A and B are shown apart, each in its own frame.
Chain A
Amino acid sequence: MIRVTGLTKSYGPHLAVRDLTFHAQRGEIVGFLGPNGAGKTTTMRILAGFMPPSAGSAQVAGFDVVEQSLEVRRRVGYLPETVPLYPEMSVREYLTFMGSLRRVPGLEDRIDQVLEEVSLSERAESTIGNLSKGLRQRLGLAQALLHQPEVLILDEPTIGLDPAQIIEVRRIIQALGQLRTVLLSTHILSEAQQVCDRVLIINRGTIVAEDTPGNLQAQLAGAERFRVSASLEGEDLRRLLQSVPGVTAVRQLGGEGEVEVSGTPGQDLRPLVARRIVEAGHDLFALTPVGLSLEEVFLQLTREEAEAREAA
């Protein structure tokens, strides 16, 4: 549904996107993850048919974004980062305007339907200038869904929303992702973890990792960190485990007799730790591997990339 090959975009001497290659299938929610200025918005704008790339190619729903831009735009629903709206219009007028440009058949009924989908029916006649940020975001989403696009491109769809609104928007996106291809950019890692089937981590215009959120965490976490719970005081447990060969750090946790152990990468220390506790005459209650959070995965990947660049 989305196929990107060697995509590059430069603004004068600044290279915003460098040789990006990825794809997304129908019914897949792909998260585009990266810090501000990583190239997420530029890539999304290119895929939405707003701007052409400097090099490389991109196809959306089988159409080239440069050569068949209008065809692409007919099939894409796009929600820019800052939802652009006409404040003097009412919600219904705005959707009527956008629907007319998109030639939506049975427009009036479709507007009612889409307002229902984003829980905005009661505000249909409200002036946009009087809507809260959350309601505007929903209206932006309604605009993107109005023509029932095959592909949805959502740039930071939950930015600036309160927690309840964030949950609501994520629920809508998950429901939409069952039938459509959704490309979603965010810099909130937990959002990608919750909503996306697959995550592309982008930094300085290039993809530094690509996998499911679970696999990404597993790849980098391994058994290097784990929690230990045993029948002795936290401080005693910490001292006992510090002497185990291969253990690099032991951190006392909140619970009594609970610590987090970090070890040398590539070495599974769990049998050694278990043995040490039992041999010291204590009971071992639990030994749980700790996965890296996506935040940590992201920081690790971007750090590795920076180090590689410096070395080069």
Chain B
Amino acid sequence: MRNVWTIAVRELRHYFVSPVAYALAFMIFLILGGIFFINVYFGLQSGYVSPDGRIVMGPLVTILLFITPAITMRLIADEYRMGTFELLLTAPVRDWELVVGKWLGSMLFMLIILLVTWAYPLILHRMSTPGIDQGILLASSLGIVLMVAAMLAIGVMVSAFFRSPLAAFFTSLAVLLVLWIIGSLGGASGLASEIARQLSFVDHFYGSFYRGLLSLTDALYYVSLTVLALFLGSQAVEARRWG
């Protein structure tokens, strides 16, 4: 586990010296800030600001769909491209330690960003009486963290298959989009619809966490997806070693 942590810390530091990471973080805060401002401004004009802590949660989830592939695209693809992959794997580092370390580094970075986005509901809490429903805020936040964990794991997995970060970005985005829209592809009823809903990225969030419910099944869905993606990523790394 020590190798996982060493790799994760290096990745986290790398984000803080990377202009791309700053640009992505700035974009998230700019869009969310804009949405927040519009909501509050028009709320004040009409004399009522809805005390809903999820004011930025819905848009945030959509933004994350595009941001996470950009966060993960270079994680392993860049190691292949720069040759540092050879260096890492001639050190006593297991394939899975590399993959999990990369994922953890990106997860820590995203957790910092998510933590900052809490500023908006907290401002709203101070502005309204009796304040926002903190239970809903906490459940939504937990759901977003689980969803981001799965998104990042998928991104790391895809990055392990490519030498080009750009190819990794578009492929991750495609995979996430499929998981995003699959829930609406199965029709209104029937087995296909049920399977599609079970696979859907959004249904497991909006059906429970977003409504303030803590669902073990939905949590398990994201955790399973994360583990599966990291496992497949490790297999991809191993396959690279076999030439």
Contacts and interface: CB of A to CB of B under 8 A. Distances in A.
B6 A100 contact: yes
A92 to B, nearest CB: 13
A101 B93 contact: yes
Contacts, number: 63
B87 A84 contact: yes
A48 interface: yes
B211 to A, nearest CB: 43
Interface residues on B, range: 20 to 34
A73 B98 CA distance: 15
Contacts of A78: 87, 90
Nearest to A100: B6
Interface in B75-97: 82-94
Contacts of A88: 14, 17-18
B36 to A, nearest CB: 33
Interface string A21-65: 000000000000000000000000100111110000000000000
B83 A80 contact: yes
Contacts of B14: 86, 88
Contacts of A50: 86, 89-90, 241
A267 interface: no
A76 interface: yes
Contacts of A49: 89-90
A98 B91 CA distance: 8
A3 interface: no
Given A50-B241, A51-B242, A88-B17, A101 B88 contact: yes
Contact of B91 (A9, A51, A52, A73): A73
A74 to B, nearest CB: 5
Contacts of B242: 51-52
B86 A80 contact: yes
A220 interface: no
A101 B85 CA distance: 13
Interface string B48-61: 00000000000000
A120 interface: no
B88 A51 contact: no
The listed residue with most A CB atoms (<10 A of its CB), out of B6, B18, B92, B242, is: B92
B84 A73 contact: no
A282 interface: no
B47 interface: no
Q: Is the interface of B mostly helix, strand, loop or mixed?
A: helix
Contacts of A48: 90
Contacts of B18: 88
B130 interface: no
The listed residue with most A CB atoms (<10 A of its CB), out of B6, B90, B94, B242, is: B90
B86 A45 contact: yes
Contacts of A86: 10, 14, 82, 84
Contact of B87 (A74, A100, A143): A143
Contact of A74 (B82, B86, B88, B92): B92
A70 B83 CA distance: 20
A130 to B, nearest CB: 14
B190 interface: no
A48 B92 CA distance: 10
Interface in B1-25: 2-3, 6-7, 10, 14, 17-18
The listed residue with most B CB atoms (<10 A of its CB), out of A11, A74, A84, A85, is: A84
B213 to A, nearest CB: 42
A171 interface: no
Nearest to B91: A101
A97 interface: yes
A219 interface: no
Interface in B144-195: none
A106 to B, nearest CB: 16
Interface string A70-94: 1001101010101011101000000
Given A97-B6, A101-B3, A76 B17 contact: no
Nearest to B101: A101
A103 interface: yes
A53 to B, nearest CB: 10
A275 interface: no
Interface of B: 2-3, 6-7, 10, 14, 17-18, 82-94, 241-243
30 contacts: A9-B243, A45-B90, A49-B90, A50-B86, A50-B90, A51-B243, A52-B242, A70-B92, A73-B91, A78-B90, A80-B90, A84-B84, A84-B87, A85-B84, A86-B84, A88-B14, A97-B6, A97-B10, A98-B87, A98-B91, A100-B2, A100-B6, A101-B6, A101-B7, A101-B91, A102-B91, A102-B92, A103-B2, A103-B92, A143-B87
Given A78-B87, A88-B14, A102-B91, 10 more contacts: A50-B241, A52-B242, A70-B94, A76-B90, A78-B90, A80-B83, A84-B86, A86-B84, A101-B91, A101-B92
